Structure 1
Amino acid sequence: MNNYLIAVVDDDRNIRELVEAYLSKENYRTVGLESAEEALRQWHDDPPDMWVLDVMLPGMDGYEFCKRIRSEAEVPIIMISARDNEVDKILGLELGSDDYLVKPFSPRELVARVKRHLQRWYKSRGSEENAQELQSSPRIEVGQLELIVEERRVRWLGEEVEVTSKEFSLLKMFAERPNRAFTRDEILILVWGDDYFGSDRAVDHLVKRIRKKMDDLPIESVWGHGYRLRNEGGEQ
């Protein structure tokens, strides 16, 4: 039996219990929550390994909750909604969800997606830890940006900045090759893994989050291509 805890957040009791039943059959631990406010308390008391999150919730909606969680961690999030609108799907992905499933959906399909996201995410975490152990350069400096790799810490303009796992991975990728322009597809493979199947808008959202945390960090948009970290006077 695995120890993954999956939180199912939906104000529809029937859907919540159905999803929990199917996940329990696969030996996942589950917790059912009716609102984002309950989910936030769960996050602080006993953080789940994954979220299955309804968009339409009483009080705080699923989009806002997703945004809050994503500002702190990169655990997988699957959003579910009755809205079969491309704009809604894109918004969910831009806010940091890993997947978007439209109601009514097959519980078996949901379970399959849960398995895939958990395998990808925790395999990625293991790879990051192994890579960290093999890292020959404990520090990387580009201008006023400093990465303490072994401790996974970031300093910008002399101040320490709290970053999530993917934010650190993106900054490390840029800092190791300053001035090099990366395509969105390259970034997806290097940061998310080559089995990621979501939208490349996830890259734009991750860059936006970093820019918000680190004012004046010279991450430049390369029109029609992707992004690069500028290092004036540095080598290409």
Structure 2
Amino acid sequence: MNDHIGVVEDDANIQNIVSAYLKKEGFHVTVMESAEEAWELWETMRPDMWILDIMLPGMDGYEFCKKIRQESDVPIIIISAKDDEVDKILGLELGGDDYLTKPFSPRELLARVKRVFKRTVHLPDNQHEHDRIKVDNFLIHENDRRIFWDGTERDVTTKEFDMLLLLAKNTNRAFSREELLIKIWGEDYFGSDRAVDDLVKRIRKKLPDIPLETVWGYGYRLRDEEE
């Protein structure tokens, strides 16, 4: 196991404990005291996961989470002394994959790290020899996790790909926002279904002509008129 985890925390004691537990499990760990330092790392050597404190000097964890989400769906686990429900919802709606309140057990954090990695890391599906799914001008290479529109490859994030793959495999079927939350974010996701609407907006911005329809008051579907 050589996944790289960036730990952004200004408490030296928590830094040492978290780092020790993660390294013992075989993770490569980089510890930073500020979001500014973490952003410098992100621009040069991107970690596979962030463990992020909210109360930081300078840029706070919420702002850092928001900046990361503008570029990537890399897993983010938020750790914070703020235990109000509104703080948890805010952290998750800004893109956090999990939220852990201080003080916490290092073993619980480790369990959540493994669970989030398991939920977000996708392995090739070797059971399918032919992995191409085509809907109109839209083509998905499932095993390679690549998307093409009109023959041109488009860059998409992990969750954008997951939603497009789900909808392409079930064309003309309407999915509710609640279904999409469970299938894309997982059953233990704690947050608003606005995350689904935000994801759809990003997909439509990248693929303006995609027949991704809103089912008003319910959810979304990918239309295929050839069916």
Same fold (TM over 0.5): yes
Query: Could you tell me which residue of structure 1 aligns to residue 206 of structure 2?
Result: 213
Number of the residue aligned with 1:130: 125
The correspondence for 1:180, drawn from 158, 161, 173, is 173
Q: Distance in 1 between matches of 2:200 and 2:93?
A: 11
**C-alpha spacing 1:210/1:61, structure 2 compared with 1 (3 Å):** farther
Partners of 1:102 and 1:225 in 2: how far apart?
A: 33
Q: Secondary structure of the residue that 2:125 maps to in structure 1? A: helix
Q: CA deviation at 1:8?
A: 0.7
Give the structure 1 partner of residue 156 of structure 2: 163
Q: Please state whether the residue corresponding to 1:111 is helix, strand or coil.
A: helix
The question of whether the paired residues in 2 share the 8 Å contact of 1:95 and 1:205 is answered with no
Computed over aligned residues only, the root mean square deviation of the Cα atoms, in angstroms, reads: 2.9
Task: State how far apart, in whole Å, the 1-side matches of 2:207 and 2:50 are.
Answer: 28
Aligned position for 1:5:
4
The structure-2 alpha-carbon separation of the partners of 1:121 and 1:172, relative to structure 1 and needing over 3 Å to count, comes to closer
Deviations for 1:154-187, whole angstroms, at most 9, x for unmatched residues? Answer: 3457765320122112112212333211134433
Aligned partner of 1:198 in structure 2 is 189
Q: Distance in 2 between matches of 1:158 and 1:25?
A: 46
Structure 1 alignment gaps of length 5 or more: none
Change (3 A) 1:37 1:152: same
Give the match for residue 105 of structure 1. 104
Residue 102 of structure 1 deviates from its aligned partner by 1.5
State the identity as a percent: 55
Q: TM-score under structure 1 normalisation? A: 0.78
Question: Which blocks of at least 5 consecutive residues in structure 2 are unaligned?
Answer: none
Cα gap change, 1:90 to 1:223, in 2 (>3 Å): farther
**C-alpha deviations, 1:68-109, integer Å up to 9, x for none?**
333443332101122222222122222221101122222222
Q: Which residue of 1 aligns with 2:33?
A: 34
More helix by share: 1
> Is the 1:178–1:234 contact (alpha carbons within 8 Å) kept by the matching residues of 2?
no
CA contact (8 A) 2:160 2:203 kept: yes
Conserved in 1, the CA contact under 8 Å of 2:75 and 2:120? yes
Instruction: Please say if residues 55 and 61 of structure 1, whose CA atoms lie closer than 8 Å, have aligned partners that are also in contact.
Output: yes
Cα separation, partners in 2 of 1:25 and 1:136, compared to 1, 3 Å = closer
